[in-house]
């Protein structure tokens, strides 16, 4: 219907004035989908059930829940804009409407074998022959997997935050919330080796940061990500490896071994236990896999029951 398209044109012009081409294109596409879904029904005559039916059509057509949420947000914005100049437009038709919930993604953890293979020191190097970059990277990877900290927490570490005598580090998480995390023997050794080398690359201005870039400045997250990706390819781990995946792996592996959810919550620095509980699903998956492989009544193939 021409009136609907004219109303969309006015909305598109208002979006263009805001100077965000990406938002304009996304919202216009979303509103076009509403026009198509309601056929020739004028916007002024749309009821709540019409909007629900339009959402259902898009969902049935394969639109993901996250995309539907953006689509619904665009429709609301469109109607609010039109209602400012047209009293016949009723933005309350969206009251209480929600897009379908997206399924919660489980954390993507490495297997224990993959994680250990990733962080093992290069066999061809020893402490005397290893380069500064190699020693730094080894220490970073040991801390990421051995302590389960976030990449922002890693790059924010200062030398003063490390206590090798007590095998622990002080970490500042979200909101600068402080927690103390234990260091395993491999991480302690890797940090000690790096600290011996670190003094040789500190610039003229002393830098407090524990991990440094090649010019003596505090290391940046992109440098850490590139180094980790390079290491994972070297070790033959084909799946995408990124710093937060080591954090997921840490939590999953500790929970599998200990079953202590509260301890994992403290180590991870989660404010809510709900954030940690997602790892119980991974733990169950691990147990289910063991069951499927080991229990006589779970095996699909094998000898007959006795």
The CATH number of residue 196's host domain is 1.10.443.10
What is the pLDDT, as a whole number, of residue 45? 92
Return the H-helix or E-strand segment holding 81.
helix 65-83
Judgement on whether residues 208 and 60 belong to the same structural domain of the protein: no
E strand spans, 144-229: 162-163, 168-172, 178-182
Share of the chain above pLDDT 90, in %: 46
- Whether 207 is in a domain gets the answer yes
List the one residue out of 65, 63, 92 whose CA is nearest residue 76.
92
Q: Which residues, in sequence order, are CB contacts of 206 under 8 Å at separation 6+?
A: none
Query: Does the pLDDT value for residue 257 go beyond 60?
Result: yes
Judgement on whether residues 179 and 270 belong to the same structural domain of the protein: yes
Both tokens of 165, joined, read 């005598």
What is the pLDDT, as a whole number, of residue 306? 36
Domain count of the fold of the chain: 2
Query: Is beta strand 162-163 parallel, antiparallel or unpaired with respect to 178-182?
Result: unpaired
pLDDT tens-digit profile of 215-237? 888 999 999 999 999 999 999 99
Both tokens of 84, joined, read 């400012």
Residues with catalytic roles? 150, 174, 244, 247, 270, 279
d(CA 195, CA 135): 9
Per-residue pLDDT, averaged over 201-214, amounts to 77
Judgement on whether residues 59 and 7 belong to the same structural domain of the protein: yes
Half-sphere exposure of 253 (CA within 13 A, CB side): 18
Both tokens of 106, joined, read 């489980």
What is the pLDDT, as a whole number, of residue 289? 57
pTM of the model: 0.60
pLDDT tens-digit profile of 264-298? 888 888 888 877 777 776 555 554 555 566 555 55
User: Could you identify the residue written with the tokens 């079953």?
Assistant: 259
Contact 209, 158 (CB under 8 A): yes
Where is the domain boundary, 39, 67, 94? 94
Per-residue pLDDT, averaged over 63-85, amounts to 91
pLDDT tens-digit profile of 121-171? 987 555 455 688 999 999 999 999 999 999 999 999 999 999 999 999 999
d(CA 158, CA 156): 6
d(CA 91, CA 82): 9
Q: For 20-24, 35-39, 155-159, 227-231, which range has the lowest pLDDT when averaged over its residues?
A: 20-24
Where is the domain boundary, 62, 94, 126? 94
Judgement on whether residues 173 and 82 belong to the same structural domain of the protein: no
d(CA 67, CA 69): 5
What is the pLDDT, as a whole number, of residue 166? 94
Contact 35, 6 (CB under 8 A): no
User: Could you identify the residue written with the tokens 């263009």?
Assistant: 16
Judgement on whether residues 166 and 281 belong to the same structural domain of the protein: yes
Judgement on whether residues 55 and 162 belong to the same structural domain of the protein: no
Mean pLDDT, the chain, rounded, equals 84
- Whether 99 is in a domain gets the answer no
Q: What's the CATH code of the domain at 39?
A: 1.10.150.130
DSSP state, 126?
Answer: -
Judgement on whether residues 254 and 121 belong to the same structural domain of the protein: yes
Contact 102, 57 (CB under 8 A): no
- Whether 304 is in a domain gets the answer no
Return the H-helix or E-strand segment holding 38.
none
How many CB atoms are closer than 10 A to CB 111?
A: 14
Judgement on whether residues 175 and 77 belong to the same structural domain of the protein: no
What counts of helices (H) and strands (E) characterise the chain?
12, 3
Q: Kindly tell me the burial class for residue 195, based on how many C-beta atoms sit within 10 Å of its own C-beta (0-12, 13-18, 19 or more).
A: middle
Q: For residue 305, name the pLDDT band (cuts at 50, 70, 90).
A: very low
Q: For residue 302, name the pLDDT band (cuts at 50, 70, 90).
A: very low
Per-residue pLDDT, averaged over 13-35, amounts to 87
What is the pLDDT, as a whole number, of residue 270? 86
- Whether 46 is in a domain gets the answer yes
Judgement on whether residues 73 and 216 belong to the same structural domain of the protein: no
User: Could you give the angle at which helices 221-234 and 132-147 cross, rounded to 10 degrees?
Assistant: 90
Main-chain phi, psi angles of 112, to 5 degrees: -60, -40
| Helices within 269-306 (DSSP H only) | 273-294
**Structural domain boundaries enclosing 223:** 112-294
């Amino acid at each position: 219907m021409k009136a609907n398209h004219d109303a969309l044109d006015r909305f598109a012009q208002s979006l263009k004035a805001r100077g965000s081409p990406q938002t304009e294109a996304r919202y216009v596409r979303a509103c076009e989908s509403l026009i198509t879904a309601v056929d020739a029904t004028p916007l002024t005559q749309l009821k709540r059930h019409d909007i629900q039916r339009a959402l259902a059509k898009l969902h049935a057509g394969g639109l993901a829940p996250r995309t539907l949420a953006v689509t619904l947000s665009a429709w609301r914005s469109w109607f609010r804009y039109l209602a400012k100049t047209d009293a016949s437009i009723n933005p309350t038709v969206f009251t209480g409407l929600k897009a379908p919930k997206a399924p919660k993604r489980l954390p993507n953890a490495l297997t224990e074998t993959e994680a250990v293979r990733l962080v093992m020191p290069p066999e061809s190097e020893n402490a005397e022959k290893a380069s500064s970059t190699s020693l730094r990277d080894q220490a970073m990877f040991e801390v990421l997997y051995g302590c389960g900290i976030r990449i922002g927490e890693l790059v924010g570490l200062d030398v003063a935050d490390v206590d090798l005598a007590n095998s622990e580090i002080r970490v500042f998480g979200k909101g600068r919330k402080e927690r103390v995390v234990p260091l395993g023997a491999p991480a302690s050794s890797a940090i000690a080796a790096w600290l011996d080398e670190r003094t040789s690359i500190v610039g003229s201005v002393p830098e407090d940061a524990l991990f440094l870039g090649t010019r003596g400045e505090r290391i940046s997250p992109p440098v850490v990500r590139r180094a980790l990706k390079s290491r994972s390819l070297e070790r033959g781990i084909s799946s995408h490896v990124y710093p937060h995946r080591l954090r997921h792996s840490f939590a999953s592996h500790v929970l599998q071994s200990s079953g202590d959810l509260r301890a994992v919550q403290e180590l991870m620095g989660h404010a809510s236990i709900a954030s940690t509980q997602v790892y119980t699903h991974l733990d169950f998956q691990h147990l289910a896999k063991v069951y499927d492989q080991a229990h006589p009544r779970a095996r699909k193939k094998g000898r007959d029951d006795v």
